[in-house]
């Protein structure tokens, strides 16, 4: 697990989910092939569960 919520503060406008958030060892340039950390949360910015939420939850319950 990387982050509980999406990290909108990682790139550009803090009020929207932007392409181009940086990742470790990334150049920080949008569309450089590195994952965008603005989308790495288990839940979105409104705390709505993503598909990964239950998968990670079940791993901790095992």
The string of pLDDT tens digits covering residues 1-33 is 778 998 887 777 788 887 766 666 666 555 555
Q: And the tokens for 20?
A: 């181009």
Q: The whole model's pTM is what?
A: 0.65
pLDDT at 54: 93
What would the mean pLDDT of 37-60 be, rounded to a whole number?
90
What would the mean pLDDT of 34-44 be, rounded to a whole number?
81
CA dist., res. 9 & res. 3, Å (int): 13
More confident call, 12 vs 41? 41
What would the mean pLDDT of 36-58 be, rounded to a whole number?
89
């Amino acid at each position: 697990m990387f982050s509980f919520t999406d990290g909108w503060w990682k790139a550009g406008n803090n009020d929207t989910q932007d392409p181009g958030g940086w990742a470790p060892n990334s150049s920080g340039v949008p569309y450089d092939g590195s994952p965008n950390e603005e989308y790495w949360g288990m839940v979105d910015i409104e705390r709505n569960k993503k598909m990964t939420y239950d998968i990670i939850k079940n791993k901790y319950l095992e």
